[in-house]
Structure 1
Amino acid sequence: MDNSMGLRERKKAATRQALHEATLRLSLAHGFDHVTVEAIADAVGISRRTFFNYFGGKEDALLYRDEQQTQALVRNVRNRPPEEPAWTALRAAVHDMRDSLDNPDRELAVRTRLAQKHPSLLARQLANHSALENDLTLAVAERAHPPGVRPHVLAAAFLTSLRLAAQMWLTEEPVRPPVEVMDEILDEMASSFHA
């Protein structure tokens, strides 16, 4: 947890994380369709009303970790040196998240499989990805690109590469390190921009 946050913010972040973990745990035990907001709130020791101070629904609670990672990615792109070409900055930004790439948790696979089976989760995940694409497009556009279509294309191509890498990593046998799969796909995608 970020040391710069005050006690109140740390408590809120800890509660969000606890709600996320309870939602995942209950979904695995009972199936996502059978998990209620009340059950999640009870598992964390808060009221249903308090739950809604943190999340709009159980879908948001389950996908909380994804949201945190996407916000970190956009922040990392914005923090890259301004003279870096956009594609280089995007790749470096995702590599700055190396700890989560090198040590992927089983939770990623679980969340992905749950989203594939449940329309409400898939819809929320698609909405989150759309918002991420918009944020990433703005971050790329800030890198001295003239207005136009290129920031949109770069952001979309980059996110498509990450999605493909995650899908391949989840299904490949034998399993390779996720960063190796990601770099292979990003290399292939980059070659299309130079062809």
Structure 2
Amino acid sequence: MSTTGRTRALRRRMIVEARRSTIAHGLHGFTIEQLCETVGVSRRTFFNHFASKEDVVLGIELHADVEAIESYAAGGVVADDLDPLDSIVAMAIDQFHRAGIDRADEVLVRGVFEREPALVARFLSATDVQLARITDAVRLRFGWDDPDDRRARLVTEAAAGMLKVTAETYFDDAFDEVTGPTFGDLLTTNLRLMRAAISTGQDTTP
């Protein structure tokens, strides 16, 4: 496993264990030191990846996706001939696979929010920050330099809406991940449906 892969696996272990501990004991029912001991890392290593106990529970990593977003802004990560909305969807699929997110993560997150509802606001705030970063990246990638140009934000918010609908479907208890589409395929289908709905009101794709 590469160094990047090992780092990603370590972060996931810390996140999963923090979520399990929160569900079992509450956010204030365990310490960072106890979490580090369980995972087998030092306190210094913990703070190399997360700013606080709340952040590790929510999976908010220090400098998360910075390299990918900067590369996207410079024209990398996804094919350079994609339009703005297609490019964001492609990047989202790429990051979804890189993060290794699965349905078990959603179950843990749901349990965390049920145990600690106050964390929902922190999660939403972090989401807003991430959307702002992606909006800036879209603006740079497509040369929309005018600060009054709303296109980057409109595209980013549209993509965020599609991601929300896709996640609601994919992580629903009734969804069969064995026979159902992958997250990427489902998101791509939703993109096609949205384009068809906007242009004609019908899905004419074979």
* 1:140 equivalent in structure 2: 138
Measured in 2, the distance between the counterparts of 1:120 and 1:41 equals: 24
Aligned partner (choices 26, 34, 37) of residue 39 of structure 1: 34
Query: Which position in structure 2 is the counterpart of 1:152?
Result: 153
**Are 1:168 and 2:173 an aligned pair?**
no
What number of residue pairs does the alignment pair up? 190
Find the partner of 2:91 among 90, 93, 99.
Answer: 93
Letter in 1 for 2:89: R
- 1:123 equivalent in structure 2: 121
Distance 1:98 1:14 in 2: 14
CA deviations on 1:108-128 (whole Å, 9 max, x unpaired) are 332244235523321221122
The answer for the alignment partner of 1:55 in structure 2 is 50
Q: Choose 57-66 or 143-152, whichever is displaced more.
A: 57-66
More helix by share: 1
Q: Are 2:59 and 1:64 equivalent residues in the alignment?
A: yes
Take 1:117 and 1:29, find their aligned partners in 2: how far apart are those partners? 9
In structure 2, stretches of 5+ residues that fail to align are 201-206
Conserved? CA contact 2:60–2:126, under 8 Å: no
In structure 2, which of residues 166, 176, 187 is the aligned counterpart of residue 182 of structure 1? Answer: 187
Alignment of 1:26 onto 2:21? yes
Deviation at 1:171, TM superposition (A): 1.7
Unmatched runs of 5 consecutive residues or more in structure 1: none
- Asked if structure 1 preserves the Cα contact closer than 8 Å seen for 2:113 and 2:120, the reply is yes
- The one-character-per-residue Cα deviations of 1:70-104 (angstroms, maximum 9, x if unpaired) are 55763564313444311121122233346459972
Cα pair distance change 1:50/1:140, threshold 3 Å:
closer
Q: Counterparts of 1:152 and 1:2 in 2: how far apart (Å)?
A: 35
| Equivalent pair of 1:101/1:179 in contact (CA under 8 Å) | no
Equivalence for 2:203: none
* 1:162 and 1:182 in contact (8 A); partners too: yes
**Does the aligned pair in 1 maintain the 2:162–2:191 contact within 8 Å?**
yes
Deviates more, 1:56-65 or 1:155-164: 56-65
**Shift of residue 60, structure 1, vs aligned partner:** 0.6
SS in 2 for 1:84: coil
Relative to structure 1, the CA distance from residue 172 to residue 191 in structure 2 (aligned partners, 3 Å threshold; closer, same or farther) is farther
The letter of the residue matching 2:144 is H
Q: How far apart are the structure 1 equivalents of 2:66 and 2:194?
A: 23
Equivalent residues of 1:23, 1:40 under 8 A apart:
yes
Greater RCO between the two (CA within 8 Å, min separation 6)?
A: 2
Aligned to 1:107: 105
Q: Any idea what the Cα deviations from partners look like across 1:18-37, whole Å, max 9, x if unmatched? A: 43232123234434453333
Q: Which amino acid aligns with 2:160?
A: L
1:20/1:61 contact within 8 Å kept: yes
